[in-house]
Structure 1
């Protein structure tokens, strides 16, 4: 038993001395590497993207706004009778201010935007005329010098719109066309003489005033610009063509007058 204990003690001492002896001999002692702690990977994040229509924004919705601009290249369309041509011959080219409000709606399907718009405007679009004016009625001969003006006071349109929303820009180019209606007025002062059927001549002064409604069409185009989701700007060109209406029906069959003109306006709309 004592021999067994001595043997175990000697073996333990020998095992303890082996690393030191190996170090003395220059033999490397392998080290057991320590594993770094592992961290759990973060959960992936899912970015939710709103469904996109063609272009940057959705142009669908109703809107209301105002516009201002200018009317130009106005031309009177007068009848072939001598009364019309004599009274209105000098009022063929005119221009002026235009401004008013509009209301409309749009609906977008892919890259196509369809809609409608109605507007009403004050128009300062009048042509002045001055010159000799003569006509015969009931056996009398009337010789006057006529001075005054004829033109438009209020105009409005009801139009369809067709736009393209496929650009990666907040811009909607469009074409438009539809019905145009305008209130025209004429105001003339006639100073001269009237010679009756028996040859008696008297001085005469007459003031002529009349208001009529002219119908026609308007066509053109422009573009809308989206400043925000609700605020939109607009630049638009329209060509208007109004048919003739008969003014001063009591003067030898009346005066037939219509006209055409162009407008360029800029406007702002609120859309919801």
Structure 2
């Protein structure tokens, strides 16, 4: 009888004793690590696109603008340095094209574009949005009647684009740029005129291109702890 009474008391007291014991919880799981792409490094690539050129011919009492377009393609090389989410760099490129437009005895031709530019961008991990601009060069040639006029070969370019790192060492980009080579002034004799006539030609270009690049540095990524 006493044994049965003791067993019953033990069954009743066991839940109460268990409730008084300190609870043991599993340690929290560590926060996940996010990987931020590192844009620092030397890179080189190829691009292809189009150019829309414009040459404005003017002389006293007369002005006309000729527009010509062409396929554009070439190569570029540069170096980026990343500071937090900001990316700065230097890039040079050479582009071949074949713009050629003739109208009313006036003609412009253009076979090359080149530039040395600075780049400033903001990185969203593998996506880089950037602005670009610097010194530009070209080999424009203008014909006014039978007279050849070589254009000013130095100007500037400005633009912007977006670049995406689809593999650790490979990126693709899309970019727009505007080129301005200023005004070329010449005094020439045309059309049997008795006296030389002043002429000026203003040359600009708009380009859009897509490219792919290889980054030579190691695909070093910086781990970032996610915060909640």
Answer whether TM exceeds 0.5 for this pair.
yes
Decide which of 123, 135, 149 is 1:179's aligned counterpart.
135
Question: Which residue of structure 2 lines up, in the alignment, with residue 139 of structure 1?
Answer: none
Q: Alignment length, in residue pairs?
A: 195
**C-alpha distance in 1, partners of 2:40/2:188?**
48
- SS of residue in 2 equivalent to 1:59: coil
- SS of residue in 2 equivalent to 1:93: strand
**C-alpha distance in 2, partners of 1:80/1:91?**
12
Question: Which residue of structure 1 lines up, in the alignment, with residue 207 of structure 2?
Answer: 263
**1:61 lines up with 2:41 in the alignment:** yes
Asked if 2 retains the 8 angstrom alpha-carbon contact of 1:90 and 1:130, the reply is no
Once the two structures are superposed, the pairs formed by residues 45-194 of structure 1 within 5 Å of their partners are 56-72=36-52, 74-81=53-60, 85=62, 91-131=65-105, 149-165=107-123, 167=124, 169-187=125-143, 190=146
**C-alpha distance in 2, partners of 1:79/1:100?**
32
Question: Which residue of structure 2 lines up, in the alignment, with residue 198 of structure 1?
Answer: none
Superposition deviation, residue 232 in structure 1 = 0.8
TM-score normalised according to structure 1 size: 0.60
**C-alpha distance in 2, partners of 1:253/1:158?**
36
Superposition deviation, residue 213 in structure 1 = 3.7
- Give the RMSD, CA atoms, in angstroms: 3.7
Superposition deviation, residue 258 in structure 1 = 2.6
TM-score normalised according to structure 2 size: 0.70
**C-alpha distance in 2, partners of 1:150/1:126?**
6
Question: Which residue of structure 2 lines up, in the alignment, with residue 10 of structure 1?
Answer: none
Once the two structures are superposed, the pairs formed by residues 191-230 of structure 1 within 5 Å of their partners are 208-230=147-169
Q: Residues 80 and 247 (structure 1 numbering): CA distance in 2 closer, same or farther, change over 3 Å?
A: closer
Q: Residues 152 and 231 (structure 1 numbering): CA distance in 2 closer, same or farther, change over 3 Å?
A: same
Gaps (5+ residues) in structure 2? Answer: 5-29, 191-195, 217-228
Question: Which residue of structure 1 lines up, in the alignment, with residue 25 of structure 2?
Answer: none
Gaps (5+ residues) in structure 1? Answer: 1-26, 29-45, 132-147, 191-207
Name the structure where strand makes up a greater proportion of residues: 2
The higher radius of gyration belongs to 1
Asked if 2 retains the 8 angstrom alpha-carbon contact of 1:91 and 1:150, the reply is no
- SS of residue in 2 equivalent to 1:119: strand
Offset from partner CA, 1:157-178 (integer Å, 9 cap, x none): 111111101x2x5210011111
Higher RCO (CA < 8 A, seq sep 6+): 2
Question: Which residue of structure 1 lines up, in the alignment, with residue 226 of structure 2?
Answer: none
Asked if 1 retains the 8 angstrom alpha-carbon contact of 2:101 and 2:108, the reply is yes
